[in-house]
Structure 1
Amino acid sequence: MRILSLALQNFKSHEDAFFEFEPGINAICGENGAGKTSILEAIAWVLFDYCPYNQEELIRTGANDAVATVQFISQWDQRTYDVRRSVSQGYRLFDPQLKQRLDYERKADVLAWLRQHLGVPAGTDLARLFATTIGVPQGTFTADFLKTSRERKEVFDRILKVEEYQQVAKDLLAVEKYSEAQVLAVKHQIELLDQQMQDWDPLQVEQQRIEQELRHWQERLSHHTHTLAEVKLELERLEKLLAQIQTLDQQIAQL
């Protein structure tokens, strides 16, 4: 996700301010009390529901309401969205491409929508994520390194997504075992094929012998088939001659 701009109306010391952010690192400079920290606090309040004090304290002195609007590019669908939040009216989500307001009224629904577009897992505590990972207070950048090993682990494991990598490692272990089993099966198949290949030359010789013998018997079959046809013709001729003899025998007997 990339934040494009921030608009403030009566937010702490800012009466009406607009800030644009370039890709990469942005440095915010100004004298003490100029409202530098308020910029980060506004982003934290709008996108992460993080506010270290009462929301009424966000309202500029003499005003009735404080409004902050953040425009960002979604990590989820790479589209641009506006998230507006005011102390009195709550959240309003807007799609500038479609030029229409998104139908999210309840704070829980808005935070679920924000988690999706921020690219963090569902159920993530956004306020805690900002307080311990993103919005490091002035003078405490190295404070986490001074904590106990257990406390450091809780902070840095969440930053480095150690649990996700551990889960991926477990999933890959199952894939590795499956791959090893497949490799062993393929090696076994190759060994069987190698053994069969060793018998290939004798089998070819035997095939050639059988083919030659088959051609020999086919030739003999063809010869005998031709002889059988000649014998059948001779048999038919003799049968006709026999019939003629029988007819003559009957005539002689009558005479």
Structure 2
Amino acid sequence: MNNILSVRLENFQSHLDSLIEFDKGLNVLVGQSDSGKTAIIRAIRWVLFNQPRGTDFIRVGANFARVTIVFENNVTIIRERTSSKNRYMIKESEKEDLILEGFGIHVPKEVVEAHGMLPLRVDRDHELNLHLSQQLDGPFLLEQTGSIRAKTIGRISGAHYLDMAIRDTSKDLSQLNQRLKHGEEEVEKLKEKLLPYEKLDEAKAKIDQTESNITSIKKNQQLLKSLKQIKRHKEQITYESTEMKQILNTVQSLSIWEEKVDSISHSLARLRDLSRKRKYLQEMHEIKKVCVHWIQITSSLGEMETIYINSKESLAKHRYFSAKRTEYTKAIQEKSQLKNQLKRTDFLKENPYQQITHMMEILGRWKQLSTLYKNEKKLNETKTIWKQTLQQLRNAEAVEHYTKQIDYDLSKWRNYQLLKEKRDELRQGLHVGTQFIKQQKSHLQILEETYEQILLSKGHCPVCGGEIQTEKVEALLSGKRGN
């Protein structure tokens, strides 16, 4: 425990700033009533034990309260309280100041360790403060009940440890007596339960003998089982060797058959190739006939070209003669007009020379008109020939259309040939696949028969270990073959 050297109160109740220093030994505070004596004790209790709580002790008109306590071990504890702040400050020589905030209603552990003034706990419900007392508290322990005084004296003298030891020892003895009694009862019960097992050693000897007999029987059974397995394995090897001999006898001439199969396959491939070429040749003959037919039809294209050129010349002549015919028509009209004029000019017959000259002119014009008329007939004949030529040219255009159609059909035929070749290849692959499937099915059938023989030879199911009947195996395998 540390002794207090001094206490300083700032804005604590009636104290504005008071410093009280204590001497060693007894210290007495003397003063008038309400002069602040109790406030000093209350300030010390507030710092050491956080009593009282709240902010009612702050001086009226001040915004904080601070109490500083200095102990003889050079430790200073400062408690400060404002409307929003509540903290401790611990100062020690050659150490950094320790500030504590947010500690609630309990005094921080560091503060208690610094001053070392702990209360004496009498029991669960009572504590006694040995260092400070209130103003109206009576002498030590006199105001307490007899039991509290006895407990307090026991605590101070250490007698409570003896009471605790006696109480715990009595409790342990009671528990041990109960456990001993319970153990004796258990022993009696176990003895009664062991009475039927007095002859257990003889039964154990018999059991050991029986176990040894069972072990020898199991060994013999395993030996018998292994011998049976060896026998079955020998039978299976004998059966497999017989089958292998038969297979070897069957495949002795396998190389000859392979050569024959290769030869037949080569011949079949060559036959397919020749058949394909023969069909192609026949189709080419058919196409050749069609082409020859169209060549014959279009053989007169050169003559038609000549006729076309002549027709162009005739057309030019026709146009020329049409112009002449127009002139001829105009001349006839002029002739009629001249006749009318001659009728009107009969009075000119008195000058025959002029009339003869005029008649010669008219005769010359008539000859020209006759020539034009003949040329018109020839032109009509040429026009007819030209129409025929045009008709033939239209036929030539049809021939060209047919030629394009033939080229299109030829391209379609070539595509058809390619598709046909692909179809033949697919058929060949399908045939090979079918043969492979047949071989696999025959191989599976052989494996099923071998499996049937193995099951029948073993006589028991390899999965469940049950006995196998011949009728069930045949029905099962026949069902699988059907599927």
Corresponding position of 2:77: 83
1:134 and 2:131 aligned: yes
Paired position in structure 2 for 1:167:
161
- The offset of 1:21, in angstroms, is 1.1
The DSSP-based 3-state class of the residue aligned with 1:30 is: coil
1:148 lines up with 2:175 in the alignment: no
Higher Cα Rg, which structure? 2
Q: Percent identity?
A: 26
**What RMSD, in angstroms, separates the aligned Cα atoms of the two structures?**
3.5
Indicate yes or no: 2:28 matched with 1:33.
no
Paired residues of 1:95 and 1:102 also in contact (CA < 8 A): yes
How do residues 1-255 of structure 1 correspond to structure 2 at under 5 angstroms?
Answer: 1-51=2-52, 54-73=53-72, 79-88=73-82, 89-98=85-94, 100-102=96-98, 104-107=100-103, 111-119=108-116, 132-142=129-139, 144-154=141-151, 156-157=152-153, 161-162=156-157, 164=158, 166-167=160-161
Q: CA deviation digits over 1:48-103, x for unaligned, max 9? A: 2221xx52211011111111111113xxxxx3111111222323323252263125
Q: Which deviates further from its counterpart, 145-154 or 114-123?
A: 114-123
Match of 2:449 in 1: none
Distance in 2 (alpha carbons) for counterparts of 1:70 and 1:110: 15
CA distance in 2, matches of 1:113, 1:168: 32
The 3-state SS of whatever aligns with 1:145 is: coil
Secondary structure at the aligned position of 2:130 is classed as helix
Higher relative CO (Cα under 8 Å, sequence separation at least 6) belongs to 1
2:11 match: secondary structure? strand
C-alpha change, 1:16 and 1:95, in structure 2 (3 Å) is same
Residues 8 and 16 of structure 1 are in contact (CA less than 8 Å); yes or no, is this contact kept in structure 2? yes
Structure 1 contact 92–101 (Cα < 8 Å) conserved: no
CA distance in 1, matches of 2:67, 2:60: 16
Q: Offset of 1:113 from its aligned partner? A: 1.9
For 2:79 and 2:58, the matched residues in 1 are separated by 12
Letter in 2 for 1:19: I
Structure-2 change in CA distance of 1:115 and 1:41 (3 Å) = same
Partner Cα separation in structure 1 for residue 87 and residue 14 of structure 2: 21
Q: Which moved more, 1:28-37 or 1:89-98?
A: 89-98
Give the 3-state SS of the residue equivalent to 1:5 in structure 2.
strand
Distance 1:170-1:56 versus aligned 2 partners, 3 A rule: closer
Secondary structure at the residue paired with 1:117?
helix
CA distance in 2, matches of 1:33, 1:93: 29
Residue 34 of structure 1: CA displacement? Answer: 0.8
Q: Is the contact between residue 55 and residue 87 of structure 1 (CA under 8 Å) also seen in structure 2? A: no
Give the 3 Å change call, closer, same or farther, for CA 116–168 of structure 1 in structure 2.
Answer: farther
Q: Distance in 2 between matches of 1:151 and 1:169?
A: 15
Q: Does the 8 Å contact 2:86/2:102 carry over to 1?
A: no
Q: Going by fraction, where is strand more abundant, 1 or 2?
A: 1
Amino acid at match of 2:97: R
